[in-house]
Chains A and B, each alone.
Chain A
Amino acid sequence: MRKNVFARVVSFGCAALIAGGALAADDGLTLPAGFTATVVQEGLGAGRHLAVAANGDIYLASRKGLNAMRVDKSGKAVEVKPFGDVSGTEVRIFGDWLYVSDDVGVYRYALKKGELAPGGAKEVVVSGFPKERQHSDKTFALDPKGTLYVNVGAPSNSCQEKDRQEGSLGKNPCPILEKYGGVWVFDGTKLNQTPANGRRFATGMRNAVAIEYNAGQKALFAVIHGRDSIDTLFPALYNAQDNATRQAEEFHQIVDGGDYGWPYTFFDTKLGHRVVAPEYGGDAKKVPEAGKYPDPLVAFPAHWAPNDLLFYSGKNFPAKYQDGAFIAFHGSWNRAPEPQAGYKVVFQPMKDGKASGAYEIFADGFAGDMPDNSPNNARYRPVGLAVGADGSLYVSDSQKGRIWRISYKK
C-alpha cells in the first residue's frame, strides 16, 4: 500500500517539475507559461516581507526600514517614500492599519486616505521580546478578528548545552521553549502589551518565518526552518550529504496546543519519517514516541529557508491556484559544500487544508549562477510574498531589494 502510494506521488511530482522546464524566461526568472514578471522597484535595502493595499500601493519592510511605493499602470514604482522607524521583517495591512514588526515588537501605523506613507507615529501593539541574535524576526499573522499570532523563533540551532558545538548534547527539557520556539497569541487590537500578555499557542517550532492565517480554513499554517549542521555536530552519524538533504523544512497546520517537535526531533526526508535528534539520543534512525509529534503536511527539502507563505485567493491566476499555497524559499547556506538550493517560489496545491498534490516550482532563476556556491553571490534571494487587488503576486528580494509583480495573461 505504501509503495503504491509512493510511486503515484513520485510520478506526479516528476510531471510537474518537467512541465516547469519548458517555461518562459522573464527578468531571468523562469515562470509557468502565460505568466510574466515586471520589476516594480529595487534598491530599498535587504527586502523582507511586503504588503499591497487595495489601491495598489506597496509597503516593503527591510533591514533598512519601511518604504511605501505608488505604482503606475505598468506596475513600476513611480513614487517611493520611506517612513516610520521600524526595521524588521513583517508588514501586513489589517483594516485601516499597517502592522509591522522588528526583532522585539509588533507595531501599527494608521493608514489614511490619500496618504502614501503613514504620517503618524507608530502605536505599540506588543513590545519587550528579548533582543536575540538568531531567529529573531517576529513575523506574525492576523485572523479576521484581529487575533495576532507571533512567531517567536528559538535563539538556538538545536538547544544544545553549547550552541552549534560538536557533540554537545541537548538540554532536556529544552528551557528555550518556555519563551521561544513557538507561536504566541495576542489580541492584535490592544495596545502596549508585553510578551507576558500573550499565550503560548503552539511550541516545538524552531523558526516559523513563513506564517499565515487561512481565513477559508479558519486555521493557522506555517513552514518552519529546520535545524542545521547534523554532520559537523555529529560526524559519526551524518555526513555532509546527509546534512544537505535530510532535515525537512516542515509545512504544518498549527493548532492550539500543538507541538511540532523541535529540538527533540526532525522529519527525515530520506527515511520519510520523523527521527529523534542526535542531541537527544538519536542514532540517525530512531523514531520518537508514536503520535507525539505530527508529520508535516509537506516535507520540503533541507535548508531551502521558507521565508513567506501565502494562500492564493486572487482573481488573476488560473483556477488551479485558487486556495493553494505559495512559499518563498530564501535559499540555503548550510548545504555547503554540497550545491546550495532553494532560491525559488514554490506552489503547493491544497484542498481542505491538506496538500493535494506534489509541489511545483513556480518561479525560479533568482540565484543566477551563484559563483563559488556562495549565497552572497546569489543574484536575488526571494523573501516576501503578497497579492495585489488585481490578483498579481508580488515577490521581494533581499540581495538588491528588488520587487517583482507576477501576472497571468490568458
Chain B
Amino acid sequence: MAIALPGQRAARRGGLRRLARRKSTVAFLLALPLILLIASLVVYPALFSLHLATLNKSMEHFVGLGNFEFLFKRELFWMVVKQSCIFAITAVIFKAFTGFVLAHFVHNIPTKKQRKWRGMLLIPWVIPPAMSTLAWFWLFDPSYSAFNWILRAVHIGDVNWLGEPNWARASVILVNVWYGAPFFLIMYLAALKSVPEQLYEAAAIDGANWWQKIWYVTLPMMRNIISITVLFSLIVTFANFDIVRILTAGGPIDQTHIFATWAFKLGIEGNDIPLGASVSLFMFPILGVAAWFILRDISQRGNEA
C-alpha cells in the first residue's frame, strides 16, 4: 500500500516529467542537424524550384504556368516523358529480374564459394558510374568499337550502338542494367537466405517443381524486399543523369533524352534556368505516384501480417 506523502508524489511526477521532457528535447536536438540539412538543402531548393518554374527566361517576370504551357506544346517534351518512363521501367524490370535470377544461382552454390562470386558480381556497382560509362562509351565507339570488332569477326557486321535511335536506347538501358543489377543481387540474396528451408521442403513434398516453388514460396516471402528495391531503383533510375550524359548526351536527335539530361541542356546549356527547372519538376509527380502506390502496398501487407 503505497500511501505516498504528497510531496514525494509530486516530486516523483515532477521528476518523471522532467525526465520525459529532457529525453524528448535531447532526441530532437540529436535529429536537428538532419532536419536543418533537409530543410535548407532539399526542401527549400525544391520549393524554390517551383518558384523558378514560374518565371520567364531572364527571371525578371512572373509568368505563372507559362513555362508548363510552353512545354506541353512541344513534341520533344512528350518524347522525353515517354523516353524517361520507358527507360526507367524497362531498366528496373531487367535489373530486378537479373538480380533475382543471379541471387538464385549464387544461392545454389556451396556457401563457402559464394563470397568470392558475390564479390566479383558486385564490382559494377562499386565503380563510379562516370568511369565505367566511359569504358562503355569506348566499347560502343563508331570507329573503334571492340564489340563491333567481334561482330565483324563472326561475320555479323557492325552495330550502330550509339547512332541509331533504338540501338542507342538499348545501349543506355544495357549500361544501366549492368550498373544496377548487382544491387538487386545483393538484396535478393540476403532475402533468399532468410526464407526458411522447411517451406521449400513442404512444397517439394507436395510435388512442386522448381518454378512452382519460386512462385508459391519465394516470391511471396520476398514481396516486401522486392517492392522496396523496385521503388528505390525506379526513383534512382528515373532521375539518372551520368549514363545518358556521357554515352549519348541525349542523342541521336534527342531520342535518348531523359528528364535530367534535358533539364541540363535547356537550363544550363541553353541558359534558360526556369525552363530547366520546369522540366525537372516534372519528375516529382511521377515519382510521387509510383512511391505512393508501392508504399501503400507495403503497409497494406504489413497490416495483413
A and B bound?
Answer: no
What is the interface of chain B, defined by CB distance below 8 A to chain A?
Answer: none
